[in-house]
């Protein structure tokens, strides 16, 4: 069987009895065991549990009462709690944390019969754009192992890219699905804020965190998302918005993905193009535009005037929320606890200082600063106001266009160690992804070319809850391009 | 310098994070670079803008007052080596 | 020199909900440690708060009862600090937009003086867990069962001028929240705790003096003693030319003194900000109207109604209306007996003594209000004597049986008063015959001996005779001989 198959192909293989779910799981587990030592995509590979789940799925398939996801393998970013299985969030703080309950995402996917083959590596507490901030070592880009896979969901993206799993779940706070999807040459969706429950997903920045899906093609992404999303009463910020249109896409045939007679107009935000680095990237972007234009899609230049302040705004809000979300890691009830604390203060300070990595500490300290007395209004409240202006920019342009198209990142993947010296330069990598995060908008990144043998991504941004339109447009693009069918040279692995 | 060393120490006290002197210098440089980047935000006129706390401007749903949880103490306390008679233990706290 | 004392109170009221404010764990008191601390209460990674509707209703009910401004849009903030009984490292509270705004409470003090205490605000927040230090071998133990219990923090204006006023205010709030059924009012289980802000200043001075905050007072008596101690201490410092420092204090009841809390030595920067895991709560006019229509009669209205009942003194009315459960019981007794004063006497006398003796709350009274009403009615219509009534009451207290009707007890045990004239006549004649010496003494003018003869008749009748009738009959018989 071809590990680069789409879920649809794997589905028919399972349904026709060509292979069982157990065989499928073993097939991918063998690839994981073979390639993971080089790529470091996985922190935990729960083989026994996976084979158990696959056995159960096979029984359901045999009975004929299985759903579309039943028996298909996937991986979960190690930010999703999985009952009875180590959940580290990429941190030393949680190096022994066997989750005592299931995240809603893990529960839903397990409930649909999917088989979790592993917990993927990530930047510690999802803070990073390169996956170099993991306590469990950096993940490498399957296209060229000298390069980063992007972050923070780098393990999930690299695993899908190298076909160690067909699909994987990730999370995106300021670009953590889209940027690694772009760097690894796969498709990734960050849905509307509130689409996917945050319950049991370790919090980084509560008002921005959103679970989403990676796959090689848009249909796979839609299928996984349909299994993850939906209203959850355990998350107060979960959107009470039905998933019908996404389910319809995921479970219907490919005709469901066609836009039909709908004429769509895509906006090109000029502020993003100004930041494009180099002629090669512009050429890639032009090619993408041409593909759409030949399909009758109209383009219009639009303006999102507050784009340039999105990164600072994002870092204030995310840092502030993170600084207090991470206060619970105090060494008292679970997680890393320092040896022989002299007193309570020592217990707190050493457990946190030893348990957190540098980037996490930097963000906690920045967040503590921007929330402290005397600075709160100048930073946090100011950032929330700018956030509204950024969101208003989007609402304005969505009066005129259906979607926006931008590059996902300012360049292709960078080399390991290239940006680790300067956090600000690293933060600037998020320039195209943070604005839509602040506005809570759904975004899709699809592969749109390569430079120097490294993939690039095209970002499509839609109004709230327009994931179906986003996925259909992404599908249209993939119908007329083949970057999503390319994969790393086997020799590179 | 936006954040002086003394301020950084105070932030460490609030956040319960201690940096040794080398880490402190590096952190001071990084934090100041970050704050400089963040300062760009100040140029935006927000005089007529309300803060946005939630990207959907959504409203809180309420839960019925029902007990839905049962005792899982043993499972939860398996996550800690520092319990005694069902209590979590910490070095003695004097109030 | 005379000083003016200025006191403001922050009262923490545990709201009577089945589950916690942000989780589905039970709020029951006294369970084994950490058996009621769920994943949310323990602040495990990934958990999220969901707001309990009952906590909102209870808070609004309180706001309506004190005529407060109610926030149309209320929200929750995080108060950040590290402490082992605070698992998230922040407390979810309401800082910027409390659910209950400005209101006021009217007090009538012992001397009849009236006092209005302004309520600045009341806001919802979550309670912390408990730290235990005893038998921990040099460690501190943390029990998080209480963590997440809903609290309403009621903040008063600095309107009180002495400890007695502060106690009267605390008592008034105590009665009010019990009346509203939003708190069980159980002080010894910590259902209500109070922080007192105390300062002194020269009379006429507008500016407040340096204040100290005495934390966690959980009884009326301790509140009074702690404030008085603190007034004395502050006065002494200032009169010796010293200066006061703002401080957070604990009251040590054993030593009757206040001392600074060690854990609060450094002034904290709490970094309040809106909790991004919770969204703003909108309070509709519809909810407010519904809650308003469900407001029970408030203590003051009830006291006034009781005062108008036949035979009840203002003292009776005040005492009977203090606690809603006692007032309800009393009204149920009256409904049965149709007698106000005698019912009041029994509730405040025998019943109250019995409950004290057994250390029971009135909800668990071994004699039901219906039974006490029946008993009072039978005393009043002379079916039984007061002594027999007490005997029935005691028997019921020892062997409770709320199902039984008092008339059945009277009948089955043949306890009815001996109202049969002939039978009584026989006993009286027999007693005179059996006691010729005493009968003669009476006739010779030793009138006091009559009591002895009455006693003999009562004894012969096994207490069922009506003593008034007995003495009347004796007088007739002795005189007529």
DSSP assignment of C378-419, as one string?
Answer: HHHTTSS-HHHHHHHHHHHHHS--TTS-HHHHHHHTT-S---
Closest approach of chain A CAs to the CA of C358, in angstroms?
41
CA C241 to chain CA mean position, Å: 42
Chain A from 355 to 394: CB within 8 A of any B CB: 356, 358, 361-362, 364-366, 368-370, 372, 378-379, 381-389, 391
Per the prediction, chain A carries an average pLDDT of 95
Tokens for A43? 């922190």
Rounded distance, CA A86 to CA A89, Å? 9
Compute and round to an integer the Cα radius of gyration of chain B. Answer: 23
- Which stretch of A41-55, A437-451, C258-272 has the lowest confidence by average pLDDT? C258-272
Rounded distance, CA B29 to CA B24, Å? 9
Q: A413 and A352: one domain?
A: no
Closest approach of chain B CAs to the CA of C261, in angstroms?
5
Cβ distance A79 to A171 under 8 Å?
Answer: yes
Tokens for C254? 């054993």
Tokens for C94? 């309401």
**Which chain C residue has the Cα nearest residue B90?**
C140
- Residue C465 confidence (pLDDT): 79
A103 close contact with C: CB closer than 8 A = yes
Closest CB to B93: pick one of C34, C42, C263: C263
Range of the domain at A319: 309-381
Q: A44 and A174: one domain?
A: yes
**Which chain C residue has the Cα nearest residue B92?**
C139
Rounded distance, CA A167 to CA A217, Å? 10
Cβ distance C141 to C132 under 8 Å?
Answer: yes
- Statement: residue A155 has pLDDT above 70: yes
Rounded distance, CA C137 to CA A300, Å? 73
Q: A410 and A463: one domain?
A: yes
Cβ distance A79 to A126 under 8 Å?
Answer: yes
Taking an 8 Å cut-off on Cβ atoms, the answer to whether C47 and A207 are in contact is no
Q: A455 and A410: one domain?
A: yes
Q: Which residues pair with A298 in a beta bridge?
A: A265
Domain CATH for A230: 3.90.1300.10
Residue A274, in any domain of the structure: no
Chains that touch A (3 or more CB pairs under 8 A): B, C
What is the tens place of the pLDDT at every residue in A8-19?
999 999 999 999
What is the tens place of the pLDDT at every residue in A345-354?
999 999 999 9
Rounded distance, CA C7 to CA B80, Å? 44
Chain A from 289 to 348: CB within 8 A of any C CB: 320-321, 324, 327-328, 330, 332-334, 344, 348
Closest CB to A424: pick one of B34, B42, B78: B34
Contacts C47 to A, Cβ<8 Å: 199-200
Cβ distance A133 to A90 under 8 Å?
Answer: yes
Rounded distance, CA A86 to CA A94, Å? 8
- Statement: residue A490 has pLDDT above 90: no
Give the HSE-up count for residue C277: Cα atoms under 13 Å, Cβ half-sphere: 31
User: How buried is A243 (Cβ within 10 angstroms: 0-12 exposed, 13-18 middle, 19+ buried)?
Assistant: buried
When pLDDT is averaged across residues A377-403 and rounded to a whole number, the result is 98
List the Cα angle C306/C312/C316 in 5-degree steps.
75
Taking an 8 Å cut-off on Cβ atoms, the answer to whether A236 and B60 are in contact is yes
Cβ distance C278 to C48 under 8 Å?
Answer: no
Closest approach of chain A CAs to the CA of B27, in angstroms?
7
What's the Cα-to-Cα distance from C307 to each of C106, C302, C314, rounded to whole Å? 18, 9, 5
pTM of structure = 0.91
CA A155 to chain CA mean position, Å: 10
List the Cα angle A360/A178/A317 in 5-degree steps.
40
Residue C442 phi, psi (nearest 5): -60, -45
Residue A208: closest CA among B42, C277, C44, C76: C277
Count of beta carbons in the 10 Å neighbourhood of residue A296: 11
Cβ distance A333 to C43 under 8 Å?
Answer: yes
- What 3-state DSSP class applies to A327? helix
Q: Which residues pair with C142 in a beta bridge?
A: B88, C131
Q: A213 and A149: one domain?
A: yes
Residue A424, in any domain of the structure: yes
Among positive and negative, which fits the CA dihedral C64, C68, C72, C78? Answer: negative
- Residue C473 confidence (pLDDT): 83
Cβ distance C148 to C126 under 8 Å?
Answer: yes
Q: A368 and A427: one domain?
A: no
- pLDDT-derived band at A453 (thresholds 50, 70, 90) equals very high
Q: Which residues pair with C153 in a beta bridge?
A: C12, C123
Among positive and negative, which fits the CA dihedral A245, A246, A248, A252? Answer: positive
Give the HSE-up count for residue A20: Cα atoms under 13 Å, Cβ half-sphere: 14
DSSP state of A28: H
Residue A203, in any domain of the structure: yes
- How many domains does chain A fold into? 2
Q: A319 and A436: one domain?
A: no
What's the Cα-to-Cα distance from C381 to each of A461, B8, C422, rounded to whole Å? 87, 84, 20
Residue A433: closest CA among A198, A178, A82, A142: A178
Q: Which residues pair with C196 in a beta bridge?
A: C9, C214
- What 3-state DSSP class applies to B22? helix
Q: A245 and A371: one domain?
A: no
Contacts C262 to B, Cβ<8 Å: 94-95
Rounded distance, CA A370 to CA A413, Å? 31
The answer, yes or no, to whether the previous bond of C445 is cis (omega within 30 of 0) is: no
Contacts C26 to B, Cβ<8 Å: 67, 69
Residue C273: closest CA among A432, A484, A323, A124: A323
Rounded distance, CA A289 to CA A476, Å? 12
Rounded distance, CA C327 to CA A396, Å? 63
Tokens for C172? 């008034």
Q: Could you tell me how many residues make up chain C?
A: 481
Closest approach of chain C CAs to the CA of A337, in angstroms?
14
Closest CB to B89: pick one of C52, C141, C262: C141
Taking an 8 Å cut-off on Cβ atoms, the answer to whether B76 and C35 are in contact is no
Taking an 8 Å cut-off on Cβ atoms, the answer to whether C46 and A202 are in contact is yes
* DSSP letter string, C292-331: HHTPPPPHHHHHHHHHTSTT--HHHHHHHHSSHHHHHHHH
Cβ distance A190 to A442 under 8 Å?
Answer: yes
Taking an 8 Å cut-off on Cβ atoms, the answer to whether B94 and C278 are in contact is no
Rounded distance, CA C149 to CA C91, Å? 12
Domain termination site, one of A381, A415, A431: A381
DSSP state of C268: P
Cβ distance C248 to B26 under 8 Å?
Answer: no
Residue A454, in any domain of the structure: yes
Residue A83, in any domain of the structure: yes
Taking an 8 Å cut-off on Cβ atoms, the answer to whether C141 and B66 are in contact is no
- Residue C152 confidence (pLDDT): 98
Contacts C271 to A, Cβ<8 Å: 324, 368, 371-373, 376
Tokens for A236? 């107060």
Tokens for C91? 């407390």
- Statement: residue A342 has pLDDT above 70: yes
Active-site residue set of A: 77, 152, 176
> Strand (E) positions, B1-95?
62-63, 83-84, 87-91
Tokens for C450? 């009559």
Count of beta carbons in the 10 Å neighbourhood of residue C143: 22
Closest approach of chain C CAs to the CA of A20, in angstroms?
34
- Residue C109 confidence (pLDDT): 83
- Residue A282 confidence (pLDDT): 85
Cβ distance A75 to A120 under 8 Å?
Answer: yes
Give me the tens of pLDDT residue by residue for chain C, a chain 481 residues long: 689 999 999 999 999 999 999 999 999 999 999 999 999 999 999 999 999 999 999 999 999 999 999 989 999 999 999 999 999 999 999 999 999 999 999 988 878 788 999 999 999 999 999 999 988 888 999 999 999 999 999 999 999 999 999 999 999 999 999 999 999 999 999 999 999 999 999 998 999 999 999 999 999 999 999 999 999 999 999 999 999 999 999 999 899 999 988 655 556 899 999 999 999 999 999 999 999 999 999 988 999 999 999 999 888 898 899 889 999 999 999 999 999 999 999 999 999 999 999 888 898 999 999 999 999 998 888 888 888 889 899 989 888 888 888 888 888 877 776 666 777 888 888 888 888 888 888 888 888 888 888 888 888 877 777 777 888 888 888 875 4
Rounded distance, CA C431 to CA C361, Å? 46
Alpha helices in C82-219 (DSSP H): 163-179
Cβ distance A371 to C275 under 8 Å?
Answer: no
Q: Tell me the count of A-C CB pairs closer than 8 A.
A: 90
Q: A36 and A114: one domain?
A: yes
- What 3-state DSSP class applies to C118? strand
Residue A286, in any domain of the structure: no
Tokens for C403? 């199902």
- Residue C460 confidence (pLDDT): 81
């Amino acid at each position: 069987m071809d590990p680069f198959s789409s879920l649809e192909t794997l589905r028919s293989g399972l349904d026709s009895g060509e292979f069982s779910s157990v065989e499928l799981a073993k097939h991918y587990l063998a690839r994981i065991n073979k390639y993971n030592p080089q790529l470091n995509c996985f922190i935990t590979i729960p083989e026994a549990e996976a084979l158990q789940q696959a056995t159960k799925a096979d029984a359901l398939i045999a009975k004929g009462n299985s759903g579309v996801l039943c028996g298909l393998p996937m991986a979960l970013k190690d930010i999703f709690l999985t009952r009875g299985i180590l959940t580290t969030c990429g941190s030393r703080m949680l190096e022994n944390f066997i989750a005592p309950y299931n995240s809603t995402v893990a529960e839903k996917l397990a409930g649909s019969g999917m088989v979790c083959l592993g917990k993927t590596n990530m930047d510690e507490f999802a803070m990073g754009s390169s996956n170099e901030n993991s306590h469990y070592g950096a993940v490498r880009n399957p296209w060229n192992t000298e390069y980063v896979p992007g972050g923070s969901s780098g393990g999930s993206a690299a695993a899908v890219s190298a076909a160690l799993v067909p699909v994987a779940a990730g999370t995106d706070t300021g670009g953590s699905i889209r940027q690694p999807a772009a760097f690894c040459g796969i498709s990734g969706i960050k849905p509307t804020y509130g689409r996917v429950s945050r319950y049991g997903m370790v919090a980084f920045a509560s008002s921005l965190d959103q679970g989403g899906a990676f796959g090689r093609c848009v249909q796979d992404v839609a299928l996984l998302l349909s299994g993850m999303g939906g209203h959850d009463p355990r998350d107060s910020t979960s959107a009470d918005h039905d998933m019908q249109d996404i389910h319809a896409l995921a479970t219907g045939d490919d005709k469901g993905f066609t836009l039909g007679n709908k004429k769509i107009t895509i906006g090109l935000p000029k502020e993003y193009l100004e930041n494009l680095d180099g002629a090669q990237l512009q050429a890639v972007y032009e090619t993408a535009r041409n593909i759409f234009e030949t399909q009758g899609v109209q383009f219009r230049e639009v303006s999102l005037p507050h784009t340039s302040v999105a990164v600072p705004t994002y870092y204030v809000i995310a840092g502030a929320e993170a600084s207090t979300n991470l206060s619970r890691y105090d060494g008292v009830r679970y997680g890393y606890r320092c040896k022989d604390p002299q007193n309570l203060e020592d217990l707190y300070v050493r457990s946190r200082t030893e348990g957190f990595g540098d980037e996490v500490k930097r963000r906690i300290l920045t967040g503590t600063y921007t929330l402290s007395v005397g600075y709160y209004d100048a930073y946090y409240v100011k950032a929330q106001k700018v956030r509204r202006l950024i969101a208003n920019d989007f609402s304005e342009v969505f009066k005129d266009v259906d979607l926006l198209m931008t590059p996902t990142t300012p360049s292709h993947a960078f080399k390991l160690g290239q940006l680790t010296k300067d956090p600000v330069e690293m933060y600037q990598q998020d320039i195209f992804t943070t604005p839509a995060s602040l506005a809570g908008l759904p975004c899709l990144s699809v592969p749109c070319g390569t430079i120097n043998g490294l993939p690039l991504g095209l970002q499509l941004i839609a109004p709230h809850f327009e994931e179906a339109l986003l996925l259909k447009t992404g599908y249209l693009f993939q119908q007329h391009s083949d970057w999503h069918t390319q994969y790393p040279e086997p020799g590179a692995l | 310098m936006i954040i002086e060393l003394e301020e950084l120490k105070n932030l460490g006290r609030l956040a319960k994070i201690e940096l040794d002197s080398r880490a402190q210098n590096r952190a001071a440089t990084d934090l100041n670079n970050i704050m400089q980047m963040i300062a760009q935000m100040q140029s935006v006129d927000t005089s007529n803008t309300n803060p946005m706390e939630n990207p959907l401007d959504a409203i809180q749903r309420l839960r019925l007052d029902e007990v839905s949880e049962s005792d899982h103490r043993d499972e939860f306390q398996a996550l800690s080596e520092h319990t005694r008679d069902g209590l979590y233990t910490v070095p003695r706290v004097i109030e | 020199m005379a000083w003016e004392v200025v006191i403001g109170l922050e009262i923490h009221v545990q709201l009577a909900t089945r589950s916690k404010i942000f989780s589905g764990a039970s709020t029951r008191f006294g369970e084994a440690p950490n058996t009621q601390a769920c994943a949310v209460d323990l602040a495990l990674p990934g958990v999220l708060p969901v707001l309990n509707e009952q906590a909102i209703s209870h808070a609004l009910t309180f706001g309506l009862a004190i005529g407060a401004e109610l926030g149309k849009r209320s929200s929750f903030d995080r108060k950040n600090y590290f402490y082992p009984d605070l698992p998230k490292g922040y407390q979810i509270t309401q800082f910027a937009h409390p659910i209950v705004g400005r209101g006021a409470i009217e007090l009538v003090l012992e001397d009849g003086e009236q006092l209005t205490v302004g309520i600045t605000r009341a806001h919802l927040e979550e309670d912390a867990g408990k730290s235990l230090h005893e038998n921990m071998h040099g460690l501190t133990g943390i029990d998080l069962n209480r963590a997440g219990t809903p609290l309403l923090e009621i903040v008063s204006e600095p309107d009180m001028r002495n400890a007695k006023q502060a106690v009267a205010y605390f008592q008034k709030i105590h009665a009010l929240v019990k009346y509203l059924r939003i708190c069980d009012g159980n002080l010894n289980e910590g259902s209500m705790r109070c922080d007192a802000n105390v300062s002194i200043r020269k009379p006429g001075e507008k500016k407040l003096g340096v204040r100290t905050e005495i934390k966690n007072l959980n009884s009326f008596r301790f509140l009074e003693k702690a404030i008085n101690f603190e007034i004395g201490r502050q006065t002494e410092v200032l009169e010796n030319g010293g200066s006061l420092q703002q401080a957070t204090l604990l009251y040590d009841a054993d030593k009757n003194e206040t001392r600074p809390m060690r854990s609060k030595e450094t002034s904290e920067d709490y970094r309040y900000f809106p909790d991004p895991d919770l969204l703003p709560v909108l309070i509709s006019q519809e909810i407010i109207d519904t809650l308003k229509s469900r407001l029970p009669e408030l203590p003051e209205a009830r006291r006034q109604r009781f005062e108008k009942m036949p035979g009840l003194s203002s003292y009776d009315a005040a005492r009977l209306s203090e606690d809603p459960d006692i007032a309800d019981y009393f009204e149920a007794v009256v409904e049965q007996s149709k007698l106000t004063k005698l019912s009041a006497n029994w509730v405040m006398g025998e019943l109250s003594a019995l409950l004290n003796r057994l250390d029971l709350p009135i909800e668990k009274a071994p004699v039901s209000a219906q039974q006490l009403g029946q008993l009072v009615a039978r005393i009043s219509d002379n079916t039984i004597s007061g002594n027999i009534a007490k005997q029935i009451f005691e028997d019921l207290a020892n062997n409770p049986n709320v199902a039984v009707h008092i008339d059945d007890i009277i009948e089955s045990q043949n306890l009815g008063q001996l109202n049969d004239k002939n039978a009584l006549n026989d006993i009286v004649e027999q007693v005179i015959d059996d006691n010729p010496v005493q009968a003669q003494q009476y006739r010779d003018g030793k009138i006091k001996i009559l009591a002895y003869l009455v006693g003999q008749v009562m004894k012969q009748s096994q207490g069922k005779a009506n003593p008034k009738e007995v003495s009347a009959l004796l007088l007739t018989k002795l005189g007529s001989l």
